[in-house]
Every structure is written in C-alpha cells, then in structure tokens.
C-alpha cells in the first residue's frame, strides 16, 4: 500500500521524469466521488430484437434514421429528454444521410486495459458488431499505458490486481484518485511523459476510428489523436464508451470527444456536470454486451409468458439439466474466486431443508480444484454440519441475550432457518469456463454473482433476477444501487443470508415474476448494435470528407 501510494504521490508532486528526462519538479518551464445509478433500456430493434419497456435511470431509447438524415433518439425519461444529435465537429445532417447506409470496411482501434474483465468484454462486444455491420472490418485492442507508459502507468494492471484483492486499499485509492486535482495532475503528467510514444503508437495503427473503453484512455490519447489528425490532414474520430453502469470515475468524461456513450441517466448527468460534455456529444444507450444475449433475448422474450417458460425449459434440457427444476446459477468471475464454496454449501442446505427441488449450477472458471471438490463433495454431510452449526448458534444467541453481550463465536448466519423438512432434491452441476453464458442465463431462474456491471446488464437483458454477493468499492458500488432501485435483485454478503433469500424467492412465484419483468424492463441487449451503428455512420461520413 505504501509503495503504491508513493507512486501516485509522485504524480501529484511531479517527481517522475518526463520523456526528455527532466523532472517536472525541477523545471519551471514545463508547461470520487462515486456516482451513477441505473442504465438505459431500448425497445426499438434495428433487426428483429426487442428490449424492455423501461430503463434503469432512464426509459426507452428509440433509434431511427429520419428522412432528413439526422440520427435521432428519443428518451422518455422522467428526468431528461435528449436529442441523439450529430456531433458538432463539422458533419452536418446531409452528409450523415449520405453515409447512413454505406457499408465500408473500417479499421477500429479500441483503447483499453485489463483492469477487470468488463472493459475487454465491452470492446469485444462492440468489435463483433463492427464485423457484423461493416463486413471486412478489423479491430484491435491496445493497452497504451502497459506498452508505452512510464512508471506508474505501465504497472497499472498489476497495481489493479493487487488492490482489487484488498478492497479497502482499492476504496482509498479510488476515491483519492477520483478528484479534480488528481485528474488535472495525472493528465498533465501523462501528456509530458508518454505523449510522444502514444502518438507514434496511434499513428502506427493507422485507424479509421478510435474508441476508448477505459477511464485512463481518454485525455492524453484524445489530445494526441487531435494532434495526429492535424499532422495527417484528416479527422480521426475519437469516441468513448463508458463501461461502468452505476458509478463513473471522473477520468471517463472528456468534453471534446466526438461522442461519449453512457449507460445510465446518472452517468449522463455526471458527464454534463463534472466533465462538461455538451449534450450534442453525449448519448444514453445501455451497456454493450455480447451479441449472443440479443439473440437469446429475442428467442426468449418475456420468461414469465408461456412462450418464455417453454423456451427456458427447453434450454435447461439442452444444457443437460432437469427442465422442471428451478436453476440457481452461481458465478464468481473468470477466476472462480470468492466464497463460492460456502455459498454452494449454504444454498444446498437451505433448499434441502425448505423442501425446494432445484439445480445449483456453479461456474468455477479457472478454479479446477473447486470444480473437482464439488463433484465429489458429500452434501449430506454438509447439511448435517450446517444444521449442527445453526443449533450451536441458537444456543449462543440465547446466552448472549441473557448476559446482554455477544457470546464468543455467535453468528447470525447460524440462526436464519428454523424449519427443517429435508425434502428438497438438489443437484449440483460444477462447470469450468463457460462459452454459452447467454444460454445458461436463459436457463437460470436466479443469478448469484458479484456486482459486475457487465454481468448485471447481461442478466437484465434476459429478465434474470440477481442476488449480488460482493462488489469492488468505488466503481461497482453504484451497480448494487442499480439493481436495488429497479427491483430485480438484492445484495447479501453472508453465504447463509444469500441462501435464505434465494430460497425464499423460489418459494414466491409472484415475486419471481415481478423481478423478472423489472429486469427485462431494465435491460438493453441491443446496446452494442446501436452504439456501433452510430459510430460507424459518423466514421464513414468522416472518411468520405477526408477523401474529398
């Protein structure tokens, strides 16, 4: 913690050498707040899909190409109605109209960093849409800081991995960095120390369009893109797609990008207030997620309808599960980390004791040890151990009440369930990495997962209620608020509480249907499609202008 803090202190004090080798502090000539709640939803389909009828934090976005050629959107939000206007950098409506249907191959450069899987996942979702909508296109992902940065930038990924494993450290770091002072100092320092190499790298890619999907990949890359455009005598459009859902770091918001796409009404307001992004360059969409979710959402429809129930039942069978049992899908991220083992144990015991038949499908990721352990685990013994633990807990709780102090070892986890029927037929299905995530979310009745923005957006797109088990302080805190505010899930941290609430949901058909409809209303499986349509149209228009 001391080492990492000193690095950022060095940035603020200007003590790290610049490209010329001169320390900022020695040269006089060298010129978090956590926010965000909710995400947008879209009911209009460009091809054959449909989303929900309400958005999280905003309402429906309907995209259409008008006869006049301007790209427009309609937001029925109670709090804001924004025009999906063309950018103000020089393209008028008539030029956009001429490029609306023109499909030419594009060279797309995404700027990202592997500080969490969500940034890369969003870039891949957008990249696949470019391949679909603009045949012959290519896309690349570049991590400018790791490849071309000085300290501390080139250690960004390792620093994140360390701090994300220590949430308190990350919370302090996030909020200290999410300030105007740090933003100004970091932007100035990165331009002086890394600017030339970043511009050379951008030039070597020779992109038709640059898209940032990471908060640290905006200011300096944008400035260098603008310089490169002047040198080459052509405009290289630069877009930012915010991949956070409920909270946004201040470094996301650059007012001079061609367009900035956000997934929530509150992030829209934050970009206006804190970033100064003009409304004509700011667009509410939804979070870009994998194309497979748009396909499955179209097939599934409303999972509470007879058609939806039939499709879900068939999907369960197709994936090798009992079509008539509810499915609890437990995910712990790509590495299979977290208290998955304890969560599975408590879920099994609670479902068994409450007489609820169910399938617990566990995505273990790279955690092969957990997968093998679940395959051989004696769950009858697990049930006996948990029942014994709960009896002990009740005794200690009784004693603590008598003596008006908590007895050593007392835990609320041990006293959540009083009834024990022992009738539930539970099947545990451990999985490693899963490529058919959309299909498993369709088959599931409840998702149990950490509060990652992409996971929440994916679940909402197919109307899946969510039980959140953990979140990373800072950017993921707002994700919890999104789900709670829109009524399609809950947050519990203790495994026994998680199991208790999930079981109660499965025993309440009316509540499950209500949460599913709320999730469906919140989701937008077509966000990536809509973003790429708009970016592609503007990029083609600029390419045509550049060639004249």
Render pLDDT for 181-200 as a digit per residue (tens, 0 to 9): 777 887 787 777 777 888 88
User: 110: which strand partners?
Assistant: 141, 211
pLDDT for 313 beyond 70: yes
Fill in the DSSP letter of residue 59: -
Cβ-proximal residues to 525 (8 Å cutoff; 6+ apart), any chain: 49, 51, 289, 293, 294, 296, 297, 298, 461, 462
Radius of gyration of the chain (CA): 25
Return the exposure string of 458-470: e unless at least 16 CB atoms fall within 10 Å of the residue's CB, then b: bbbbbbbbbbbbb
Q: Tell me whether strands 138-142 and 238-241 are parallel, antiparallel or unpaired.
A: unpaired
Residues 534, 295 contacting (CB under 8 angstroms): no
Question: Two tokens at 390?
Answer: 């709960």
- No. of helices (H) and no. of strands (E), the chain: 20, 14
| Half-sphere exposure for 351 (CA within 13 Å, toward CB) | 28
Rounded to whole angstroms, how far apart are CA atoms 519 and 544?
Answer: 41
Question: Two tokens at 437?
Answer: 């995530």
Residue 518: helix, strand or coil by DSSP?
helix
Give the chain's mean pLDDT: 78
- Of the candidate ranges 179-193, 239-253, 471-485, the one whose mean pLDDT is the lowest: 179-193
The residue ranking higher by pLDDT, 58 or 382, is: 382
Query: How far is residue 186 CA from its own chain's centroid?
Result: 25
Read off φ and ψ for residue 359, nearest 5 degrees: -110, 125
pLDDT digits (tens, 9 = 90+) for 361-378: 999 988 899 999 999 999
Read off φ and ψ for residue 71, nearest 5 degrees: -80, 130
> How much is the pTM?
0.76
pLDDT digits (tens, 9 = 90+) for 129-152: 999 999 999 999 998 777 666 667
- The continuous run of DSSP H or E covering 138 comes out as strand 138-142
């Amino acid at each position: 913690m001391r080492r990492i803090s000193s690095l950022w202190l060095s940035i603020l004090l200007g003590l790290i050498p610049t490209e010329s080798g001169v320390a900022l502090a020695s040269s006089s000539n060298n010129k978090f707040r956590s926010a965000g709640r909710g995400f947008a939803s879209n009911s209009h389909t460009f091809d054959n899909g449909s989303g929900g009828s309400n958005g999280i934090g905003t309402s429906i976005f309907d995209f259409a190409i008008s006869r006049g050629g301007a790209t427009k959107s309609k937001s029925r939000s109670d709090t804001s109605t924004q025009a999906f206007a063309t950018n103000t950098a020089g393209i008028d409506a008539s030029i956009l109209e001429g490029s609306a249907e023109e499909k030419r191959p594009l060279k797309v450069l995404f700027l990202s960093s592997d500080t969490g899987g969500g940034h890369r996942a969003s870039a891949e979702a957008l990249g696949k849409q470019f391949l679909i909508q603009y045949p012959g296109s290519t896309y690349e992902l570049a991590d400018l800081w790791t490849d071309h940065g000085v300290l501390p930038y080139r250690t960004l990924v390792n620093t994140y991995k360390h701090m994300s494993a220590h949430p308190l450290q990350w919370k302090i770091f996030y909020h200290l960095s999410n300030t105007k002072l740090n933003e100004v100092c970091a932007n100035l320092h990165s331009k002086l120390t890394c600017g030339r190499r970043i511009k050379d790298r951008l030039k070597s890619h020779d992109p038709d369009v640059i898209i940032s999907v990471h908060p640290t990949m905006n200011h300096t890359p944008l400035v260098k893109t603008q310089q490169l455009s002047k040198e080459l005598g052509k405009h290289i459009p630069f877009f930012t797609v915010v991949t956070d859902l409920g909270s946004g770091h201040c470094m996301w918001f650059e007012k001079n990008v061609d367009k900035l796409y956000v997934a929530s009404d509150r992030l829209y307001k934050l970009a206006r207030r804190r970033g100064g992004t003009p409304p004509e360059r700011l667009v509410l969409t939804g979070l870009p997620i994998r194309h497979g979710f748009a396909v499955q959402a179209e097939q599934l429809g409303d999972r509470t309808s007879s058609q939806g129930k039939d499709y879900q039942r068939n999907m369960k069978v197709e994936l090798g599960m009992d079509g008539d049992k509810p499915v609890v899908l437990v995910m712990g991220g790509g590495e299979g980390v977290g208290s998955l083992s304890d969560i599975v144990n408590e879920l099994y015991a609670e479902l068994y004791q409450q007489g609820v038949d169910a399938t617990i499908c566990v995505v273990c990721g790279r955690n092969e040890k957990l997968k093998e352990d679940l395959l051989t685990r004696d769950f009858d013994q697990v049930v006996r151990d948990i029942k014994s633990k709960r009896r002990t807990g009740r005794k200690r709780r009784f004693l603590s009440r008598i003596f008006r102090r908590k007895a050593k070892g007392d835990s609320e986890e041990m006293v959540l369930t009083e009834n024990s029927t022992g009738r539930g037929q539970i099947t545990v299905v451990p999985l490693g990495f899963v490529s058919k995530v959309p299909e498993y979310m369709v088959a599931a009745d409840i998702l149990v997962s950490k509060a990652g923005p992409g996971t929440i957006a994916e679940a909402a797109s197919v109307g899946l209620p969510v039980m959140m088990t953990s979140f990373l302080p800072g950017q993921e805190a707002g994700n919890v608020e999104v789900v709670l505010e829109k009524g399609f899930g809950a947050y519990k941290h203790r495994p026994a509480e998680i199991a208790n609430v999930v079981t109660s949901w499965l025993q309440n058909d009316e509540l499950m249907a209500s949460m599913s409809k709320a999730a469906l209303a919140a989701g937008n499986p077509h966000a990536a499609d809509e973003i790429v349509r708009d970016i592609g149209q503007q990029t083609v228009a600029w390419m045509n202008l550049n060639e004249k």
